[in-house]
Amino acid sequence: MSSTRISYALGALTFIVAGASFAQAPQEPPSPAPAATPQEPAAEPPAPATPPPPATPPAPAAPAAPAAAPAPAAAPSPLTQQVGAATFTLYGDIDLYANFMHSSSGRNIIALQDGAILRSRLGLRGGIELTDQIKGNFVLEQGINATNGAPADSTRLFDRQAWVGMASPYGEVRVGRQNTEVFLRGGAIDYGERTLGAVINAFGVPSRYDSDFVYVSPRRYGAQFVGHYSFQGSVRNGWFHQRVYQVALDYENGPIRVGYARVAGKPAPGTPVQKLVTYDNFYANLKHGAAKAYLVYIRSNNNGPTGELFNGSSPLGNTGALVAGTDTGAETYYNIYQVSADYTLTPALRVGALYGWIRDSSGSGKNASGGSAGGFYTFKNIKVFVLADVISNDPNAGFRTNGSAGLTKPFTAADDVNGRTITGVQVGLVFRF
């Protein structure tokens, strides 16, 4: 699908929602101001036994103050429309940053990039009260490359999310293209929400799948369970063909949060690499006053070579590709450790840092380590950030820094990545609406 068609479709969708709200909302004339309620007369005093002296004529009563005009009703947000009993909200963000990166090979990258913290996007979400305890909802979300206005994925209209669901006191059920639990827990992973500068993000994070059936339990006593099963790879008489499943358990109580999330994908039958590809993520964080500490451990074989680079592929896929069973990287498991902390200096200003290690458990020496430090200043809908980061590869490793969106202009030559140390400084902003 061309970017022009996608732009027309998103514009039409917004126009339809806004138009429907005016077409369906009853146009009632303003109600006349209610007549003033007459004041009840005061009770007459009893007649005196003797005639009283002539009363002084009362001073004329002050004229009543005119009734104050009713305050005008607050105007609804221009991005939210009510259509009958349903509510629709247009939302999104633009995330742009200047990126400077240097490889120990001597080469540099200086570029404007998209998606350091949040991939730029445009979305529409809505909900309707079906009963007093059941609500229907949906999300449609398209990623955008804000450096040139192109869709993040030209083959899809809503590449990031497209699902419908129902929520009740017993939990929520959703069906469609949805984010993974690992992806959604970025805020519990490190100070930068597991995006640019995170060592974890250099490894490859499975982010979303098609035809995904999800159950989200209500949170009870601080605990919540989530389960996913994707029918994306199913074929005739083969519901479990190339299956992808997820489980997650999260516990939050006051300043403590701990959890576990797993994504697992089965390769296609008969393929040369018959290895279940998994991504197991354990995390914990503790908040104390204005400070917060994060600990993460990951065990995964979701990485392999790409071209001449020793690392870079993701057998589980980062945006919904299924396990093809052809990536020999699935035969190597990695242990990833990361520690992080941040501190809120003022309500608007937060700073943080992290350090992490990627360890190849096969003994082939595909190890790396790195870290980052940064600051975030938020006012109204805008977050301004500054980051500095480094990742150092052992001779047999080839990891690169990634943001929420993959770098549109990364190092691609093997001589600039394999066994190299890559440092970077980024300055940017995220505008959310």
Whole-number mean pLDDT of the chain? 85
What is the reported pLDDT for 214? 98
Percent of the chain with pLDDT over 90: 71
What is residue 78's predicted lDDT score, i.e. its pLDDT? 60
What was the pLDDT predicted at 204? 84
Of 167-176, 275-284, 405-414, the one with minimum mean pLDDT is 405-414
Q: Has residue 261 got a pLDDT over 80?
A: yes
Q: 418: pLDDT confidence band, cut at 50, 70 and 90?
A: very high
Taking residues 372-381, report their average pLDDT.
96
Mean pLDDT of 405-417: 93
List the domains of the chain with CATH numbers: 122-370 (2.40.160.10)
pLDDT tens by residue, 382-408? 999 999 999 999 999 999 999 988 888
Residue 43 has pLDDT above 80, yes or no: no
pLDDT tens for residues 52-79? 444 444 444 444 444 444 444 444 456 8
What does the block give as tokens for 194? Answer: 């597991």
Rounding to the nearest 10 degrees, give the CA dihedral for residues 208, 209, 214, 218.
0
Residue 331 has pLDDT above 60, yes or no: yes
Mean per-residue pLDDT, 366-391 = 97
